[in-house]
């Protein structure tokens, strides 16, 4: 579907995607202007719509591109052999912080897109995010070692509580729009706070 775009020289691909990312991140889907994108990318509108059917097609391609880049970099760093859920979660946090700093513009776009309420893209994003959440959870947290949990606890429910706590904390953090333009110290404070919640849960569930 996007073969014409993918056959472009890498420099031109990046120029178009960077321009689109900047516009969508600043204005959201509905208010983003393809005129601004083509001006920034230094291409014609005809060419943009030759590569992408419409603004929605461009937006979803860009979201998928950014998510996959982020995930591929993540799996290069994570230790998939680790079976302690708290150590694995800590690894995830450290890697995420590293990637936030390395790919700040991409992360900002992903966060803005995730929050976007436009009905034109809402269902598409929900489907993409749901599939990603399930596949990555199963891949990262399969075969966790439950021997450290206190005797008598339902370990499956304990793990659910741990994950729900992190999801709730993450949702609360991403409501803070200041983080979208903040620095490493602000992100580090958020991850340090997450550590406090993890320590509480670890003390509750582990022997």
Q: Give 6-61 pLDDT, tens digit per residue.
A: 899 999 999 999 999 999 999 999 999 999 999 999 999 999 999 999 999 999 99
- Exposure string for 49-67, b = 16+ CB within 10 A, e = fewer: eebbeebeebbbbbbebbb
Between CA 111 and CA 166 the distance in angstroms is: 17
Spell 164-176 as b/e; 16+ CB within 10 A means b.
eebeebeeeeeee
Q: Helices 10-31 and 55-77: crossing angle, nearest 10°?
A: 110
Q: Return d(Cα 124, Cα 64) in angstroms, integer.
A: 11
> Which tokens go with 90?
């800590």
Please report whether residue 153 resides in a domain.
Answer: yes
Tokens 């912080």, located at residue: 97
Please state the pTM of the whole predicted model.
Answer: 0.85
pLDDT tens, position by position, 124-150: 999 998 888 888 888 888 889 999 999
Residue 174 lies in a domain: yes
pLDDT of amino acid 175: 63
Classify residue 104: in a domain, yes or no. yes
On whether residue 36 sits in a domain, the answer given is: no
The reply to whether 57 falls in a domain is no
Number of domains in the chain: 1
Q: For 198, what's the count of Cα atoms within 13 Å in the CB-facing half-sphere? A: 20
Reported as a single tens digit per residue, the pLDDT across 66-113 is: 999 999 999 999 999 999 999 999 898 888 888 888 888 898 898 889
Average pLDDT of every residue of the chain: 88
Structure tokens at 42: 């230094």
> Domain for residue 50, yes or no?
no
Question: Residue 149 phi/psi, 5° resolution?
Answer: -75, 150
Q: Is residue 53 part of a domain?
A: no
- Residue 153: helix, strand or coil by DSSP? coil
Category of 48 on φ-ψ map: left (φ > 0), alpha (ψ -120 to 50) or beta: alpha
180-192 pLDDT, tens per residue? 555 667 777 878 8
The continuous run of DSSP H or E covering 193 comes out as helix 184-205
- In this predicted structure, what is the pLDDT of residue 149? 95
pLDDT band at 178 (very low <50, low <70, confident <90, very high): low
Q: What letter would DSSP give residue 54?
A: S
| Cβ atoms 194, 169 nearer than 8 A | yes
Q: Which domain holds residue 100?
A: 63-205
């Amino acid at each position: 579907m996007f073969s014409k775009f993918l056959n472009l020289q890498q420099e031109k691909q990046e120029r178009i995607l960077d321009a689109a990312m900047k516009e969508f991140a600043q204005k959201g889907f509905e208010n983003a202007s393809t005129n601004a994108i083509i001006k920034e990318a230094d291409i014609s509108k005809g060419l943009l719509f030759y590569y992408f059917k419409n603004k929605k097609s461009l937006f979803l391609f860009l979201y998928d591109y950014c998510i996959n880049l982020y995930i591929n970099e993540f799996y290069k760093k994570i230790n998939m052999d680790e079976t302690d859920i708290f150590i694995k979660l800590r690894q995830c946090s450290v890697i995420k912080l590293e990637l936030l700093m390395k790919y700040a513009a991409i992360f900002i776009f992903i966060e803005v897109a995730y929050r976007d309420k436009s009905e034109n893209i809402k269902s598409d994003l929900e489907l993409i995010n749901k599939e990603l959440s399930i596949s990555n959870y199963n891949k990262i947290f399969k075969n966790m070692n439950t021997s450290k949990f206190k005797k008598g606890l339902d370990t499956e429910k304990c793990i659910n509580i741990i994950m729900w706590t992190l999801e709730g904390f993450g949702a609360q953090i991403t409501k803070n729009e200041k983080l979208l333009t903040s620095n490493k110290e602000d992100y580090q404070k958020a991850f340090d706070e997450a550590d406090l919640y993890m320590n509480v849960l670890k003390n509750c569930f582990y022997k």
